[in-house]
Amino acid sequence: MNKLPEIFESFGEARRNGFLKVKEFKDRDENVVGTFCTYTPKEIIYAAGAHPISLCSVSEETIPEAEKHLPKNLCPLIKASYGFALTDKCPYMYFADMVVGETTCDGKKKMYELLGELKDTHVMQLPQNQSADGLELWKNEMYRLIEKLEDKFATQVTSESLRGAIKSCNEDRKLLREFHELGRLKPSVIKGFDIFNVLNGANYTFDKVEMREKVRNTISEVRAKYEKGEFLPEGPRILVTGCPIGGVADKVINAIENTGAIVVALENCQGYKELHEDVDESIDPVEAIAKKYLNIPCSVMTPNDKRIELLKDMIDEYQVDGVIDMTLQACHTYSIESHNVKNILVGEKKTPYMMLETNYSKSDEGQIKTRVEAFVEIL
C-alpha cells in the first residue's frame, strides 16, 4: 500500500552501490576527484570531465589508526577522513586520482599535509570572511583548481563546459531543495531520518538521470500521502543545525524522533546549508561559482551572519518548535558559535534551543537519549 519505506531504503543503499559505479568509471579510464566538504566547487570538477566523489569520513572504524598520527582530542570527522586514507579502507579514496580539500579549519589543513603523502592532494585556501576581498581571494582559488585539473587530466576547462556544469548542478540543487522543503508540510508526512537518507543517498547516486527520477518519484509519493491525509503522529517540530551530521545521524536524529518529536529540517552541511542558494547563471561562470560557495554559512566564517539569517528564516518556514545544535567534539568554531546562536534564537525568535556535543562512538547514546527526552518534554 505504501512504497515510501522501500524508496528510502534504496537511497540508503546508494552509498554502498556507489562503490561499483566508481569502479566502472575507472574501468572506462574516467577521472575521479575525491572531496570532503561542501565548499568544493563540484561544477569545476565536472567541467574538467571528472567525477567529484565524497570520501569516507563518517565512521569510527579507522579512528584508532588515525590517532597513531593525529591527536586524540581532534574532531572525529578529521580523524576518520585521514584514517580511511591511511588504512586504504575507503573504495572512493582508492579509486580517486586526486583529492581536493579546503582550509576550513586548522585541524583539516594540517591533516591535508599528511594526506598529501598518501594521495595527490590539492588544497584550496578558503577565506575566513565573505567580504569583497575574500571573494577575490576565493575566485583566485577557483582558477588555481582549474589549472590543477587541466594539468592533472590533460584537459581544458572552458566557459562553455563550466556553464553546462552550473546548469546541471543547479537542477540537482533545485530538486533536492524541493525534497527537503517537504519538511515544511504540517502535519508532517516524512521523518527527518528519511530526509537525511534521501539527501545523502542522492549524493552517491552518480547516474544523475536515475537520481533525479528517484527524487521526483519520492516527492510525488510524499505529496500524495499528504493529500490523502496520511500524516505522522503529531509531535514537536525540531530543526537540527551544526556540524556535518553524517557520522552521527543514526544516533542523533533517531534519538530525537524516538521521543515522538519530528525532525522537519536539517540545516547542516549534508542538509539545507549548501542547497538553499544556486549558482548565478547570468554572470561570469568562475565568479558565479566563487560567490555561491563563499556564501555557504559555515561556522568557519567570521562573522557568520548568514547562518543566523538562514536559521531564523527556516524556523519560520518550517514552523519549528525547537532547535538542536549538534556539535562534534573538538570542533571549536561550531562550539564557540553556539553561544551567539543560542542567544539570538532564544532571545529574538523565542525558540527553545539545546547544544548537543558528541562524537562517532556509541558510548554516549544513553546520555543523548536522556538529554533529548528532557528537551522534547519541555516543548
The pLDDT confidence band at residue 9, using thresholds 50, 70 and 90, is low
CA distances from 192 to 78, 189, 317 (A): 25, 10, 16
Strand partners, 337: none
- Residue 60 domain-assigned (yes or no): yes
The answer to whether residue 5 scores a pLDDT higher than 90 is: no
Q: What is the pTM of this model?
A: 0.95
Chain mean position to CA 343:
25
User: How would you classify the pairing of strands 98-102 and 121-124?
Assistant: parallel
Looking at the structure of the chain, the number of domains it has is 1
- Report d(CA 170, CA 172) in Å as an integer: 5
DSSP 98-162: EEEEE-SSHHHHHHHHHHTTTS-EEEE---SS-SHHHHHHHHHHHHHHHHHHHHHHT----HHHH
- Report d(CA 62, CA 146) in Å as an integer: 32
Instruction: Write out pLDDT tens, residues 95-136.
Output: 999 999 999 999 999 999 999 999 999 999 999 999 999 999
Instruction: Write out pLDDT tens, residues 344-362.
Output: 999 999 999 999 999 999 9
Res 359: pLDDT: 97
Place of cell 556544469: 165
- Report d(CA 289, CA 273) in Å as an integer: 16
The pLDDT confidence band at residue 2, using thresholds 50, 70 and 90, is very low
- Residue 76 domain-assigned (yes or no): yes
Res 8: pLDDT: 59
- Residue 15 domain-assigned (yes or no): no
Strand partners, 238: 263, 322
Mean pLDDT of the chain: 95
- Residue 138 domain-assigned (yes or no): yes
Asked if 334 and 307 touch (Cβ cutoff 8 Å), the reply is no
Please give the sequence-ordered ranges of beta strands (E in DSSP) within the chain, or none if there are none.
31-35, 50-54, 98-102, 121-124, 237-242, 262-266, 322-328, 353-358
Res 270: pLDDT: 87
- Residue 175 domain-assigned (yes or no): no
One-letter amino acid identity for 87?
A: T
- Residue 255 domain-assigned (yes or no): yes
- Report d(CA 315, CA 351) in Å as an integer: 8
Asked if 2 and 21 touch (Cβ cutoff 8 Å), the reply is no
Res 19: pLDDT: 86
- Residue 213 domain-assigned (yes or no): no
**Full residue range of the structural domain in which residue 331 is found:** 25-158+234-379
For the domain that residue 51 is a member of, what is the CATH number? Answer: 3.40.50.11900
